[in-house]
Each structure stands twice: as C-alpha cells, then as structure tokens.
Amino acid sequence: MTITQVPLVDYLVLGDSPHLTANECTKCGARYFDRRNACASCFATDFKKVAIANEGIVRSFTIVTFAAPGVPVPFVAAIIDCAGTSVRGNLANVEATPEKVTLGMKVKLTTYSLGADDNGLEAIGFGYEPA
C-alpha cells in the first residue's frame, strides 16, 4: 500500500491511535521530541522511544493575534502538561478568547489535515481540544 499521509513532525505517530512519542534517555528518563546527540540532563547517549499520554492540562497559553507573515491568526499556543511531560501545541476546537481558554483546563490530543501536496501526499498536524 502506498503511503498517503505524513505527520507534520516525526514525533507524531499516525494510525489507529494517533499519539506523540519522545526520545527518552535510558539513564535519567529525560524526554526530547527532537533527535539528540546526548542527553542535556545527564550526558548519556542512549535513547528509547516512549509514547506520550494523549490527555493533559493547559499549564500556560497565549492567544496570538499578531504573527509573522503567512501565519494565520488568531490561534491559541499552549504548553500542555501530559502526565508529567511538557508538550508544546496549539489548542483546537475552542474559541480563541480568554473567556473560553483557561489555565488548568483539561485537553486531549486531536489530529487534523494540513492538505495534500503536489504529489497527493496529505500532511497531518496535531493539536489539543477540550476533553
């Protein structure tokens, strides 16, 4: 079967149960979403893939109404505490107002299409929606 979808970033795992993964240091447990040469916390060099919890709470957010050219506004940028692992992501399926978005609100991972490229490959992004 040909690949028809690609994740926005390689730490988003698609399929039946989409989730994020991290590179976890096998020595101290520090987690990283990008590839690392060595652990920034303990300097070890072995990592294993671990799944990140899909549910979390909003630890911080901002409603961006003025952004760089080409970045659609408004959007809600947030830091989500997913069972002890901090994740950066946009909030989805919620009105971008301080009345609707609150610190400590419960959210869960969701995915959405970013459209297809010239070769018919569809990119899939992620965000967090109210749980």
Partner 1 sequence: MATDDIYILGIYMTKFGKYPDKDTVDLASEAVIAALADAQVTMKDIGVMAAGCLMGQGGIGQMIQKQVGQTGIPVYNVSNACATGATALRTAIMAIKAGECDMGLAVGVEKLAGVGLLGGGGAPKSKNKEWTPSGRFGSVTNVDGLIGTAAMPGTFAQVGMEYGHKYGGATFELFAKISEKNHAHSTLNPLAAYTKRMSLDEIMNDIMISYPNTRPMCSANCDGAAAAVVVSGAKLKTLSLEQQRRAIKVSASILTSDPYQEACQVLPDVNTLTRIAAKQAYEQAGVSPSDLNLVELHDCFATAELVHYDNLMLCEEGGAVDFFNSGATWRDGSMPVNVSGGLESKGHPIAATGIANIWEVCHHLRGEAGPRQIEGAKVGLAHVIGLGSACGIHILEKSAL
Minimum CB separation of residue 118 from partner 1 in Å reads 5
- Considering the complex, state which of residue 17 and residue 65 has its C-beta at the smaller distance from partner 1: 65
Q: Which of 53, 130, 65, 61 is nearest to 93 (CA)?
A: 130
In the complex with partner 1, the residue whose CB is nearer, 21 or 131, is 21
Rounded Cα distance between 14 and 96, Å, is 26
What is the three-state SS of 14-32?
Answer: CCCCCEEEEEEECCCCCEE
Q: What does the binding site for partner 1 look like in residue numbers (CB under 8 A)?
A: 6-11, 30-35, 40-41, 58-73, 75, 77-79, 84-90, 98, 103-104, 114, 117-119, 121-123, 125-126
How near is the Cβ of 115 to partner 1 at its closest, in Å? Answer: 8
The set of residues, in sequence order, having a beta carbon less than 8 Å from that of 49 and lying 6+ positions away, is 21, 22, 23, 24
Nearer to partner 1, 1 or 71 (CB): 71
